[in-house]
Every structure is written in structure tokens, then in C-alpha cells.
Chain A
Amino acid sequence: MEPEHDDAVVAAIAADPRYETLVRERGRLGWLLSALIFFSFVGYLGVIAFDKAALAAPIGGGVTSVGIPVGLGLIVLTIVVTALYVRRANGSYDARLAALLKDHQA
């Protein structure tokens, strides 16, 4: 692509309201999910720092403690949230992006 054409395309996209909407929506989802992961993990560390006994308490009559599903759950949550974002971004967001780029012949 010619650099001049490239710069013109960038300017045209910046002026397109669909660009702003798309970036804002995708960005909001990213920050929202980042906050979810961040606070889940910091909350987990907080419980560990302040109330170890809560996580050490056995579930039912066995030896398996509350901390096991919480810890493993955090691992699963991380993977699920990642999958959720990738599905959304590679699906509907990328489709909208492709339409936008096509209209500006980028």
C-alpha cells in the first residue's frame, strides 16, 4: 500500500463514527473482563491474607476444602473469560471491522 493512500485511509477511518463505536465497545469489554480477572485474583489473595481458615474449611464430611474448588475455579474462570473475549472479538467485532475497512478500501 502507498504510504499517502495509507495515511488518507487512517484519517478516513478515524472520522468514521462506526470506528469509534467499535473501538469503544471492544475496549469496554476488554477493561470489564480485565477488572473481573483482576478483582477475582486480588480478592482470592485477600481471603488468603485475612482469613485462611475460610479456605481450609472442609466441604461436607470429607477432607476436600473450600479452597480447592475456589483455586481450580479461578483457573477455569481465566480460561473461560479468555475464550469469551476471543469468540466475541474474532466473531462479531472482526466482522464489523472488516466491513469498515472494506468501505474505506484499506
Chain B
Amino acid sequence: MRRAVAIGATLLAFLPTASLAHAATPSVQQPTNWVAISLFLGFVALTLAITKRAATRTRTAADFYTAGGGISGFQNGLAMAGDYMSAASFLGISAQIFKDGYDGLIYSTGFLVGWPILLFLMAERLRNLGKYTFADVASYRFAQAPVRCFAAASTLLVVSFYLIAQMVGAGQLIKLLFGLPYSYAVVIVGVLMMLYVLFGGMRATTWVQIIKAVMLLGGATFMAVMVMAQFGFSLETLFARAVAAKTAMAAAAGDAPDAAFKAGHSIMGPGNFIKDPISAISFGLALMLGTAGLPHILMRFFTVPDAKAARKSVLWATTWIGYFYVLTFIIGFGAIVLVGTRPEYLDATGSLRGGGNMAALHLAHAIGGNAFLGFISAVAFATILAVVAGLTLSAASAVSHDIYASVVRKGAATSAQELHMSRLTTLAMGALAVLLGLVFEKQNVAFMVSLAFALAASGNFPVLILSLLWRGCTTKGAAIGGTIGLLTAFVLTVLSPAIWVTVLGHEKAIFPYSSPALFSVTAGFVSIWLISLLDRSPRAAVDRAGYAAQRVRAETGVGSFGVSGH
């Protein structure tokens, strides 16, 4: 223990003393948790050691972007799960179940159903046609500059919104868990993520994601098993105790017995999460199709040697993510009984100490004391790092591979020049991420992840599907139509309640639904289709003529980029 304190003190010694006054302010910040800090330092030491090893093997652009294509399907599946299971979904979904019960399950299923769609319609075709980024695939038979510019812009947009949500979440979470000031937390995340990506490229990023996935799945499994053990491994007993706990809480808050009974049983069915059918379908579409358009997920397909491994990656990713959501469900209900009924986890008003997202963390404490709370806190920190590293790598690739190497240098850049450019971009992205994290500290960023999903579903998804599966798709159709889809999603989100009312403070939202996807995905598909159909340019003829050969390569893998030799 003394050693852990010493390591923690060393870490603090690196931090500028100027903000110590800030650290002393008595907000929601928790007392410094030394177990959490020492476990986290262990994680950092391990991942930096891996990065150091990976750095010696990161010599070419292929190493940097795709780890040379030598990752196995199982490893890639774990890494995809690590990329996808964010701290927000672990803490957020279990918190939502703690609060409303059943509604959290709707969220979980939405985040999962996109994976098979991604597999059936895209995975093997992506792997067979692509080299480093999804733009390789989207622009395969088209004029390079317009389609790659669209893809890079879309990647940067999607990644930025996702990144802001992660950085702000990271800052707030770490402030809460580790007792470190917000700005320290953001800078630590930014610097570590930069080290991984800058030196270790995709190889280090993949291992960070794998280790994090194993830690998160292991920790969540332990929690769920300990919860179930308390209820004789019977879900019915768990639910019955949760309903009883919620009923007692409602009665204690002053509800009449009838109302309290109703409130208690409300956690077993859908609540107010989905209000109208249009919002329901629109939201479902954003989650389902957005998953198949996220650049940092798509990029992972190029790290495996062939289509077989690409399919296996999705199967493993889907299995781990689905399993993880079942665990969060048990954890959320467990928290209702084991946390919600114990005064030491509640403040004077009866809500959770430290804020709504603390349900899973208090549960960790209730189950395994300070040591296990420390472990789960370290896992949450590691989780953020892994997600942020994947995002940064994908943004860096969009700039260095799509814009610099393909559009500016027209394919004439050497591997060394491209590698150099991607490292410069990584530095810039890291700095940008820290800056955005600091700027958005006090902002409401809850809408940003769903915005990222809506953008990916409305821009990238239609462009990829139509360029892969429709002969008639042309350069103009993909570039302009994709942009229209993106813009529609963006504008409608700004006009929706989440921004127009909650952030901008207007009275009534111009766009009344909670997600734009139903309209913006349609706008994307229809514009690409219509513009392609009306496109009579000479380029359009070349685009259409290229389809047959592209299809053979996409379906069979002839001439695909294999494992780069070492």
C-alpha cells in the first residue's frame, strides 16, 4: 500500500502546482482513491510497455494504420468490442436501469443490432476492397478527390463529436473517481492516448483495446456473478427484490400505497424512454445503421488478413458486446437492491451520491469494498483511453491517407512520408481533443454520441452501401448525396429538442423528434440515387463501367491487400 501511495504521489508531482487550489474546491470531487490510482498506473505501465514494443515494429504506413494486417479474427473481435463498449455505455446504461429499470435494455439492444447488419452487408466487401480506411472502399471505382474529401470530412465530423463526448465524460468521471481536477484528467487522457497512437500506431491501439475489453468484461462478470449469488442465481428473485426496493423508495418519498406499487412495478416494463413511434423508429435506425458507418469501427476490418477473419471478428465482437449488455442489465437491477436501499450511497435527497452515473461504481463498492471500487474505476479510465485512441487513429488516417496521400499527393507519397504525416495529424488531433475537452467542460454533451451515430448512418452508410451494391452509383452521387445526408442529420439535430431546447434554451423544438435518422438516412439514400441517375458526365460512365470488376474483387477477394511482410 505504501508503494502505491508513493507511485500516486509521483504522478501528482508531475502535475503543475498552480491548479492545486482548484483541487481543493469541495465540489462533487471524491477523496483521492489510491487503490484506483495504483491499479490504473499498473494499466498504464503495461500498455506503455506494449507501445514501446509495438513502436519498434511500426515502420511503415501499413504498420501504423492496420498493424500490417496481421491481427487474428478473435483478437480483432475483442478489440472491436473494446472500441465500442465505452465507459458511457457501462456507467450510463447501468445508471439508466438503476433509475428506470427496463428502458436500459432497449438502449442495449439498439447498440447491438447494428453489428449483424455490418457483417451481412459490408464486412467481407470492406476487407476485400480496402487498404487502410473506409474511404478506400467508398472511392474504389470513383474519382478519388471528391469521394475521399467527403469521407475524410465525414470521418472528422463523426470522430470529433464522439471524441468530445468521451473527453468530457472522461474529465468528469476521473474527477469523481480519482479525485483529480477535471483539467488534469483531460490532459492525462490526451497525453496517454497520443503516446499509444503516435508510437505504437494500430498495433498498440489494438492491444490497449484488447486489454481494456478483457478488464471490463472480467470486472463486469465478477459484479454480475456476485449480484446473482445474493439472490440464489434467480432472476425472478432479483427482479422481485428490485420491485420491492423501488416500491419502498416511492412510499418513503411520500407516494400513496397505490402509486408506490405502480412506481415499483414500472421498472419491469418500458417507461418514458420512447414517446412517439417516429422517434422510436428514427432512433432505432440511427443506432442500427450508425454502427455500420462509424469510421473507427470500419477501420478495424483492415487489420485482419482476409474476409474469413473479418467475419469472425464481427461474430466475436457481437458475442462479447451482447454478453456485456446482459451483464449491465444484471448490474443495474442489482444496484437498485444493493445500492438504492443503503443510506451510505445516497445523499440527503435520496439520490445517488456523486451523480446518476455512479450506480455501477457504488455497486462495486457494495460488493468488493474499496479495492474492487478501485479496480472498476481503473477499468473505467482504461476504457476511455482505449476508445479515444481508436478515434484518434481513425481521424489521423483520414487526414494522412485520404487527404494528404490520395488527394494532395495523388498517390505519389512514399510510405515514410505518409507515416510522418499521420504522426503529425495524431499530434494535432491529440491537442484538439484536449482543447475540445476543456472548452466543452460545462456544456451538455449528452446528445453528441447520438449525433455521431446519426451522422454515420446518414452519410457514410448510404455511400458505402450504394457504392458497393449499386452499379449506377457515380462519383457525383456519392460525394454530393453523402454530403446532403450528413448535412440533413446535422441540421435536424441542431433543430431537435436535445440542442434547440436543452442547449440553446429555445421554448419549442423546430424538429420535434429525438433522432433525425429516419429523415436524414432517407435524404442520403435518395440524393445519392437521384444525383447518380441524372449524372450524364463522362466520369459517370467510367464509374458505372467499373462496377463489374469492383464486384468481383469485393465478393471474391481477388487482388486484396494481404498481410504486409516483415
Contact = CB atoms under 8 A, between A and B. Distances in A.
A90 B311 CA distance: 8
A90 B240 CA distance: 44
Nearest to A29: B120
A31 B120 contact: yes
Interface string A30-58: 11011001101110111011101101111
A63 B268 contact: yes
Given A63-B243, A90-B312, A38 B117 contact: yes
A97 B554 CA distance: 12
B552 A30 contact: no
Q: Which bracket fits the contact residues of A?
A: 35 or more
B284 A14 contact: no
Contact of A52 (B108, B269, B288): B269
Nearest to B306: A94
Contacts of A40: 113
Contacts of A29: 120
Contacts of B551: 14, 23
Interface in A85-102: 85-86, 89-90, 94, 97, 100-101
B112 interface: yes
B553 interface: yes
Interface in B203-248: 235-236, 239-240, 243
Given A64-B235, A67-B102, A83 B109 contact: no
B559 interface: yes
Interface stretch (B24-32, B142-150, B186-194, B275-283): B275-283
A6 B559 contact: yes
Contact of A79 (B110, B270, B318): B318
A9 B119 CA distance: 27
B558 A34 contact: no
A41 B120 contact: no
19 contacts: A19-B552, A22-B555, A42-B284, A45-B284, A48-B274, A49-B277, A63-B268, A67-B270, A68-B239, A71-B106, A72-B326, A78-B112, A82-B116, A82-B314, A85-B116, A86-B312, A86-B314, A89-B124, A94-B307
A65 B268 contact: yes
A89 B535 CA distance: 36
A42 B559 contact: no
Contacts of B436: none
Interface in B301-315: 307-308, 311-312, 314-315
Contact of A100 (B269, B308, B549, B556): B556
Interface string B515-530: 0000000000000000
A38 B287 CA distance: 11
B311 A89 contact: yes
Nearest to B268: A65
Query: What are the nearest 3 A-B pairs in CB distance?
Result: A56-B269, A30-B120, A65-B268
Given A37-B116, A81-B116, A75 B109 contact: yes
B322 A64 contact: no
Interface residues of B, number: 57
B84 to A, nearest CB: 14
Given A10-B549, A23-B551, A41 B318 contact: no
Interface of B: 102, 105-106, 108-110, 112-113, 115-117, 119-121, 124, 235-236, 239-240, 243, 265-266, 268-271, 273-277, 280-281, 283-284, 288, 307-308, 311-312, 314-315, 318-319, 322, 325-326, 329, 548-549, 551-553, 555-556, 558-559
Interface of A: 1, 6-7, 9-11, 13-14, 19, 22-23, 26, 29-31, 33-34, 37-38, 40-42, 44-46, 48-50, 52-53, 55-58, 62-65, 67-68, 71-72, 74-76, 78-79, 81-83, 85-86, 89-90, 94, 97, 100-101, 106
B114 to A, nearest CB: 9
B280 A79 contact: no
B556 A82 contact: no
A79 B271 CA distance: 26
A83 B239 contact: no
B326 A58 contact: no
Nearest to A89: B311
A81 B555 CA distance: 21
Given A33-B116, A48-B280, A86-B311, A13 B552 contact: yes
A75 B117 contact: no
A55 B103 CA distance: 11
Contacts of A85: 116, 119-120, 311
A100 B110 CA distance: 38
B314 A50 contact: no
A30 B283 CA distance: 23
A75 B243 CA distance: 23
Contact of A41 (B110, B277, B552): B110
Contact of B558 (A13, A23, A50, A78): A13
Given A68-B235, A100-B556, A106-B558, A75 B116 contact: no
A30 B307 CA distance: 15
B269 A63 contact: no
Contact of A76 (B124, B311, B322, B329): B322
